[in-house]
Amino acid sequence: MRLAAEVERLAAELEQSRARIIDLEAKVDIDPLTEVLSRRGFERELKRSVAYVKRYGTSAALVYLDLDGFKPVNDRHGHAAGDAVLKAVAAALVRHVRASDVVARIGGDEFVVLLWNLNGPAAGAKAAALEQAIYSTPVQWVSSTLVVGAAAGVALIGALDTPADLLARADAAMYARKVERREITSPHVGEREPRAGRATR
């Protein structure tokens, strides 16, 4: 009887330990600040998604977003203000995609979005809409209104892609978009003065 009770106790402790491990692994996959996927969580999801596209021939696209005007927010208002902006950006991205899509923060001010069932033109249009969604999400901080922009690069997932290739292509497209935005009249980002229509970089 004592042996059976001891075995039952050890089995219960093992189950509790497994549950704690699963919980910790899930937390590692989530960015604690923005509550979207972390880089680790996204890389795991991207690997699964590339395999799914290869197997079933579905269409999907990766959007790589890098914020514009984020450093001045940190420099002028401190990291707490920067954190508030990052949280707002993540929330805006989640609001503007479907439940089946994936949003992640993979760097300091870098986000990625995995979009399902979109062709090239539709993915490009969605990337532009996400840029606008970020710019249209001002953050009130003390007496200032903080605004950032974003450059979005798009890469369609192909049957021969690896996750690393896909990220590299989307990253390169994002940098090309940054250059394009510098060459045209782009929205001012950084800070809007209270009760004024003017924005400054």
From the list 31, 66, 109, 161, the catalytic residue is 109
Catalytic residue check, 109: yes
Nearest residue to 86 (alpha-carbon basis) of 102, 104, 100 = 104
Residue tagged 């996959």 (tokens): 29
Roughly what angle, to the nearest 10 degrees, separates helices 70-77 and 79-95?
140
Contacts made by residues 127-135, CB under 8 angstroms, sequence distance 24+: 127/63, 127/152, 127/153, 127/154, 128/152, 129/96, 130/63, 130/65, 130/93, 130/96, 130/97, 131/65, 133/92, 133/93, 133/95, 133/96, 134/65, 134/67, 134/89, 134/92, 134/93, 135/187, 135/189
Catalytic residues: 109
